[in-house]
Structure 1
Amino acid sequence: MSFSSSDEPAAPGLLSAITALRTAAENADGEALAGIVASDVIFHTPLTSRIRFEGREEVTALHRDIFAVIEGLSTTEPLTRGDTGVFTFSGHVRGLKLEAMNLVRVNDHGKIVEFTIFARPLPALATLFATLPPRVTARRRGRAKGALVAALATPLGLALRTADVLVPRLI
Protein backbone atom coordinates (compact mmCIF):
# COMPACT_ATOMS: atom_id res chain seq x y z
CA MET A 1 0.00 0.00 0.00
CA SER A 2 1.33 3.42 -0.93
CA PHE A 3 0.62 6.57 1.02
CA SER A 4 0.37 9.90 -0.72
CA SER A 5 -0.99 13.13 0.69
CA SER A 6 -3.75 14.56 -1.46
CA ASP A 7 -2.02 17.95 -1.41
CA GLU A 8 1.36 16.54 -2.46
CA PRO A 9 1.06 13.60 -4.84
CA ALA A 10 3.98 11.34 -5.63
CA ALA A 11 6.37 12.77 -8.21
CA PRO A 12 6.11 11.34 -11.72
CA GLY A 13 8.13 8.19 -11.96
CA LEU A 14 8.67 7.75 -8.21
CA LEU A 15 6.60 4.60 -7.86
CA SER A 16 7.98 3.04 -11.03
CA ALA A 17 11.57 3.79 -9.90
CA ILE A 18 10.92 2.24 -6.49
CA THR A 19 9.21 -0.77 -8.05
CA ALA A 20 12.21 -1.28 -10.34
CA LEU A 21 14.59 -0.91 -7.38
CA ARG A 22 12.63 -3.43 -5.31
CA THR A 23 12.58 -5.87 -8.24
CA ALA A 24 16.34 -5.45 -8.73
CA ALA A 25 16.92 -6.14 -5.01
CA GLU A 26 14.68 -9.19 -4.89
CA ASN A 27 16.37 -10.57 -8.03
CA ALA A 28 19.90 -9.57 -6.86
CA ASP A 29 20.32 -7.68 -10.15
CA GLY A 30 22.78 -4.83 -9.65
CA GLU A 31 22.89 -4.10 -13.38
CA ALA A 32 19.21 -3.11 -13.32
CA LEU A 33 20.11 -0.02 -11.30
CA ALA A 34 21.88 1.62 -14.23
CA GLY A 35 18.53 2.29 -15.89
CA ILE A 36 16.77 3.79 -12.86
CA VAL A 37 19.39 6.03 -11.27
CA ALA A 38 20.43 9.50 -12.39
CA SER A 39 23.99 10.06 -13.60
CA ASP A 40 24.68 12.15 -10.47
CA VAL A 41 23.06 9.75 -7.96
CA ILE A 42 24.34 9.75 -4.37
CA PHE A 43 24.20 6.73 -2.04
CA HIS A 44 24.47 7.27 1.73
CA THR A 45 25.57 4.06 3.43
CA PRO A 46 24.47 3.00 6.93
CA LEU A 47 28.03 1.84 7.62
CA THR A 48 29.67 5.27 8.00
CA SER A 49 28.93 8.93 7.39
CA ARG A 50 32.50 9.40 6.15
CA ILE A 51 31.84 7.78 2.78
CA ARG A 52 29.17 8.29 0.19
CA PHE A 53 29.04 6.73 -3.24
CA GLU A 54 28.42 9.00 -6.20
CA GLY A 55 27.58 8.49 -9.85
CA ARG A 56 25.66 5.88 -11.80
CA GLU A 57 28.64 3.59 -12.43
CA GLU A 58 29.81 3.55 -8.80
CA VAL A 59 26.31 3.10 -7.33
CA THR A 60 25.55 0.31 -9.80
CA ALA A 61 28.83 -1.44 -8.94
CA LEU A 62 28.11 -0.97 -5.23
CA HIS A 63 24.73 -2.66 -5.62
CA ARG A 64 26.35 -5.63 -7.36
CA ASP A 65 28.49 -5.94 -4.22
CA ILE A 66 25.50 -5.45 -1.89
CA PHE A 67 23.45 -8.08 -3.67
CA ALA A 68 26.41 -10.49 -3.49
CA VAL A 69 26.66 -10.28 0.32
CA ILE A 70 23.00 -9.89 1.38
CA GLU A 71 21.07 -13.06 0.66
CA GLY A 72 17.34 -13.53 0.23
CA LEU A 73 16.37 -9.88 -0.03
CA SER A 74 12.68 -9.16 0.28
CA THR A 75 10.99 -5.76 0.24
CA THR A 76 7.75 -4.13 1.34
CA GLU A 77 5.36 -1.76 -0.37
CA PRO A 78 6.58 1.85 -0.38
CA LEU A 79 5.25 4.96 1.28
CA THR A 80 5.53 8.04 -0.92
CA ARG A 81 5.19 11.78 -0.69
CA GLY A 82 6.36 14.31 -3.23
CA ASP A 83 9.70 13.25 -4.69
CA THR A 84 10.51 10.87 -1.82
CA GLY A 85 9.62 7.29 -1.05
CA VAL A 86 10.55 4.78 1.63
CA PHE A 87 10.32 1.03 1.82
CA THR A 88 11.78 -1.61 4.06
CA PHE A 89 13.79 -4.64 3.11
CA SER A 90 15.29 -7.60 4.86
CA GLY A 91 17.83 -10.27 4.07
CA HIS A 92 20.64 -12.25 5.66
CA VAL A 93 24.33 -11.43 6.02
CA ARG A 94 26.37 -14.49 6.99
CA GLY A 95 23.27 -16.02 8.55
CA LEU A 96 22.17 -12.93 10.51
CA LYS A 97 18.90 -11.25 9.65
CA LEU A 98 19.33 -7.63 8.56
CA GLU A 99 16.34 -5.29 8.49
CA ALA A 100 16.60 -1.93 6.77
CA MET A 101 14.76 1.05 5.40
CA ASN A 102 15.62 2.65 2.08
CA LEU A 103 14.82 6.36 1.67
CA VAL A 104 14.79 7.25 -2.03
CA ARG A 105 14.46 10.61 -3.78
CA VAL A 106 13.87 11.06 -7.51
CA ASN A 107 14.39 13.94 -9.91
CA ASP A 108 11.84 15.44 -12.33
CA HIS A 109 12.57 12.62 -14.80
CA GLY A 110 11.75 9.87 -12.29
CA LYS A 111 15.39 8.81 -11.90
CA ILE A 112 16.73 8.09 -8.42
CA VAL A 113 19.08 10.88 -7.32
CA GLU A 114 19.59 9.88 -3.69
CA PHE A 115 19.48 6.77 -1.50
CA THR A 116 19.83 6.73 2.28
CA ILE A 117 19.82 3.39 4.10
CA PHE A 118 19.02 2.86 7.79
CA ALA A 119 19.66 -0.64 9.17
CA ARG A 120 19.30 -2.83 12.28
CA PRO A 121 20.04 -4.87 14.37
CA LEU A 122 23.57 -3.86 15.30
CA PRO A 123 25.15 -7.37 15.08
CA ALA A 124 23.84 -7.80 11.52
CA LEU A 125 24.95 -4.28 10.58
CA ALA A 126 28.41 -4.96 12.05
CA THR A 127 28.58 -8.20 10.08
CA LEU A 128 27.66 -6.27 6.95
CA PHE A 129 30.44 -3.81 7.87
CA ALA A 130 32.87 -6.71 8.10
CA THR A 131 31.68 -8.20 4.80
CA LEU A 132 30.86 -5.42 2.34
CA PRO A 133 33.71 -2.88 2.70
CA PRO A 134 36.48 -5.44 2.05
CA ARG A 135 34.70 -6.45 -1.15
CA VAL A 136 34.18 -2.83 -2.24
CA THR A 137 37.77 -1.91 -1.35
CA ALA A 138 39.17 -4.86 -3.29
CA ARG A 139 37.12 -3.79 -6.33
CA ARG A 140 38.10 -0.13 -6.08
CA ARG A 141 41.66 -0.24 -4.69
CA GLY A 142 42.98 -3.79 -5.04
CA ARG A 143 43.04 -7.07 -3.14
CA ALA A 144 45.73 -6.06 -0.65
CA LYS A 145 43.77 -3.06 0.59
CA GLY A 146 40.62 -5.19 0.63
CA ALA A 147 42.41 -7.67 2.90
CA LEU A 148 43.53 -4.82 5.18
CA VAL A 149 39.95 -3.52 5.45
CA ALA A 150 38.77 -7.06 6.27
CA ALA A 151 41.39 -7.35 9.02
CA LEU A 152 40.21 -4.06 10.53
CA ALA A 153 36.44 -4.66 10.22
CA THR A 154 36.08 -8.37 11.01
CA PRO A 155 36.75 -8.13 14.78
CA LEU A 156 33.88 -5.65 15.19
CA GLY A 157 31.42 -8.06 13.61
CA LEU A 158 32.66 -10.93 15.76
CA ALA A 159 32.53 -8.84 18.95
CA LEU A 160 28.98 -7.65 18.36
CA ARG A 161 27.68 -11.09 17.34
CA THR A 162 29.20 -12.51 20.54
CA ALA A 163 27.80 -9.68 22.68
CA ASP A 164 24.38 -10.19 21.11
CA VAL A 165 24.36 -13.78 22.39
CA LEU A 166 25.80 -13.16 25.85
CA VAL A 167 24.48 -9.75 26.96
CA PRO A 168 20.75 -10.59 26.78
CA ARG A 169 21.39 -13.53 29.12
CA LEU A 170 22.85 -11.12 31.67
CA ILE A 171 20.13 -8.48 31.49
Structure 2
Amino acid sequence: MASNNLQKWHDYMKSHDLKALRDMLDDDVVFHSPVVHTPQAGKDITYLYLSAADQVLGTDKFRYINEFDLGDKAVLEFETEVDGLVINGIDMITWNEGGQIVDFKVMVRPLKAINAVHAAMGKMLETLKTKS
Protein backbone atom coordinates (compact mmCIF):
# COMPACT_ATOMS: atom_id res chain seq x y z
CA MET A 1 0.00 0.00 0.00
CA ALA A 2 1.36 3.42 -0.97
CA SER A 3 2.16 6.09 1.60
CA ASN A 4 -0.13 9.16 1.67
CA ASN A 5 2.44 11.17 -0.29
CA LEU A 6 2.80 8.58 -3.01
CA GLN A 7 -0.95 7.96 -3.13
CA LYS A 8 -1.52 11.67 -3.85
CA TRP A 9 0.96 11.40 -6.73
CA HIS A 10 -0.81 8.33 -8.11
CA ASP A 11 -4.16 10.11 -7.79
CA TYR A 12 -2.76 13.02 -9.79
CA MET A 13 -1.40 10.69 -12.48
CA LYS A 14 -4.89 9.20 -12.88
CA SER A 15 -6.79 12.49 -12.84
CA HIS A 16 -4.25 14.77 -14.56
CA ASP A 17 -5.68 17.54 -12.32
CA LEU A 18 -3.22 20.40 -12.83
CA LYS A 19 -4.49 22.29 -9.76
CA ALA A 20 -3.69 19.22 -7.65
CA LEU A 21 -0.22 19.12 -9.21
CA ARG A 22 0.41 22.78 -8.38
CA ASP A 23 -0.82 22.27 -4.80
CA MET A 24 1.57 19.33 -4.34
CA LEU A 25 4.64 21.43 -5.12
CA ASP A 26 6.59 23.28 -2.43
CA ASP A 27 7.46 26.88 -3.35
CA ASP A 28 11.17 25.96 -3.37
CA VAL A 29 10.86 22.62 -5.19
CA VAL A 30 13.80 21.61 -7.40
CA PHE A 31 13.29 19.76 -10.68
CA HIS A 32 16.06 17.68 -12.28
CA SER A 33 15.42 17.09 -15.97
CA PRO A 34 17.03 14.27 -17.96
CA VAL A 35 18.01 16.78 -20.67
CA VAL A 36 18.62 20.10 -18.87
CA HIS A 37 22.05 20.21 -17.24
CA THR A 38 21.21 22.44 -14.28
CA PRO A 39 18.51 21.84 -11.66
CA GLN A 40 15.43 24.02 -12.14
CA ALA A 41 14.41 25.66 -8.86
CA GLY A 42 10.98 26.96 -7.95
CA LYS A 43 7.33 26.05 -8.12
CA ASP A 44 6.51 27.79 -11.41
CA ILE A 45 9.27 26.20 -13.50
CA THR A 46 8.74 22.76 -11.93
CA TYR A 47 5.01 23.01 -12.58
CA LEU A 48 5.71 23.95 -16.19
CA TYR A 49 8.02 20.95 -16.72
CA LEU A 50 5.77 18.46 -14.95
CA SER A 51 2.59 19.63 -16.69
CA ALA A 52 4.38 19.43 -20.06
CA ALA A 53 5.68 15.95 -19.19
CA ASP A 54 2.15 14.91 -18.26
CA GLN A 55 0.94 15.85 -21.73
CA VAL A 56 3.93 14.34 -23.58
CA LEU A 57 4.49 11.18 -21.55
CA GLY A 58 1.28 10.71 -19.55
CA THR A 59 -0.69 9.12 -22.36
CA ASP A 60 -2.70 5.90 -22.13
CA LYS A 61 0.61 4.07 -22.76
CA PHE A 62 2.12 5.39 -19.50
CA ARG A 63 2.41 3.00 -16.57
CA TYR A 64 4.51 2.57 -13.48
CA ILE A 65 6.09 -0.87 -13.46
CA ASN A 66 8.04 -0.75 -10.17
CA GLU A 67 8.00 1.46 -7.12
CA PHE A 68 10.00 1.87 -3.95
CA ASP A 69 8.12 3.88 -1.31
CA LEU A 70 9.93 5.19 1.77
CA GLY A 71 7.16 7.57 2.87
CA ASP A 72 9.02 10.84 2.30
CA LYS A 73 10.89 9.52 -0.78
CA ALA A 74 9.90 7.29 -3.67
CA VAL A 75 11.50 5.84 -6.78
CA LEU A 76 9.02 4.99 -9.53
CA GLU A 77 10.05 3.15 -12.69
CA PHE A 78 7.83 3.85 -15.67
CA GLU A 79 7.30 2.84 -19.27
CA THR A 80 5.54 4.81 -21.99
CA GLU A 81 5.77 5.53 -25.71
CA VAL A 82 6.52 8.63 -27.75
CA ASP A 83 6.13 8.39 -31.52
CA GLY A 84 6.17 4.58 -31.33
CA LEU A 85 9.42 4.52 -29.33
CA VAL A 86 9.30 2.64 -26.02
CA ILE A 87 10.66 4.77 -23.20
CA ASN A 88 11.85 3.52 -19.84
CA GLY A 89 12.45 5.94 -17.00
CA ILE A 90 12.51 6.68 -13.32
CA ASP A 91 10.84 9.40 -11.26
CA MET A 92 12.59 10.09 -7.94
CA ILE A 93 10.38 12.18 -5.65
CA THR A 94 11.08 13.69 -2.21
CA TRP A 95 8.35 15.21 0.00
CA ASN A 96 8.66 17.55 2.97
CA GLU A 97 6.95 17.04 6.33
CA GLY A 98 3.86 18.85 5.01
CA GLY A 99 3.49 16.38 2.13
CA GLN A 100 4.64 18.76 -0.61
CA ILE A 101 7.17 17.75 -3.25
CA VAL A 102 10.57 19.39 -2.63
CA ASP A 103 12.66 17.48 -5.17
CA PHE A 104 11.71 15.71 -8.40
CA LYS A 105 14.28 13.95 -10.59
CA VAL A 106 13.58 12.20 -13.88
CA MET A 107 15.91 9.78 -15.64
CA VAL A 108 15.15 8.32 -19.08
CA ARG A 109 16.65 5.60 -21.24
CA PRO A 110 17.68 4.60 -23.91
CA LEU A 111 19.45 7.40 -25.78
CA LYS A 112 16.86 7.39 -28.59
CA ALA A 113 14.18 7.89 -25.92
CA ILE A 114 16.02 10.85 -24.41
CA ASN A 115 16.23 12.47 -27.83
CA ALA A 116 12.52 11.84 -28.52
CA VAL A 117 11.49 13.18 -25.10
CA HIS A 118 13.75 16.22 -25.54
CA ALA A 119 12.15 17.11 -28.88
CA ALA A 120 8.58 16.50 -27.71
CA MET A 121 9.07 18.37 -24.44
CA GLY A 122 10.63 21.34 -26.27
CA LYS A 123 7.55 21.64 -28.45
CA MET A 124 5.17 21.24 -25.51
CA LEU A 125 7.02 23.78 -23.35
CA GLU A 126 6.82 26.34 -26.15
CA THR A 127 3.09 25.66 -26.52
CA LEU A 128 2.48 26.04 -22.77
CA LYS A 129 4.58 29.21 -22.55
CA THR A 130 2.54 30.88 -25.30
CA LYS A 131 -0.70 29.98 -23.48
CA SER A 132 0.47 31.60 -20.20
TM over 0.5: yes
Amino acid at match of 1:98: I
* C-alpha deviation, 1:112, in angstroms: 0.9
**Of the candidates 13, 26, 37, which is equivalent to residue 25 of structure 1?**
13
Q: Is the CA contact (8 Å cut-off) linking 1:45 and 1:117 kept in structure 2?
A: yes
Check if 1:65 corresponds to 2:52. Answer: yes
Percent of aligned positions that are identical: 22
3-state DSSP class of the match of 1:48? coil
1:47: which partner in 2? Answer: 35
* Larger RCO (CA under 8 A, 6+ residues apart): 2
**TM-score, L = length of structure 2:** 0.80
Distance 1:98 1:87, change over 3 A: same
1:120: which partner in 2? Answer: 109
Instruction: Name structure 1 gaps, 5 residues minimum.
Output: 3-14, 143-171
CA RMSD of aligned residues (A): 2.4
Q: Which has the larger radius of gyration?
A: 1
**TM-score, L = length of structure 1:** 0.64
Which structure shows the bigger proportion of residues in strand conformation?
Answer: 2
Range moving further from structure 2, 27-36 or 38-47:
27-36
Which structure shows the bigger proportion of residues in helix conformation?
Answer: 1
Instruction: Name structure 2 gaps, 5 residues minimum.
Output: none
Point out 4+ residue stretches in structure 1 off by more than 3 angstroms: 26-31, 137-140
Aligned residues: 129
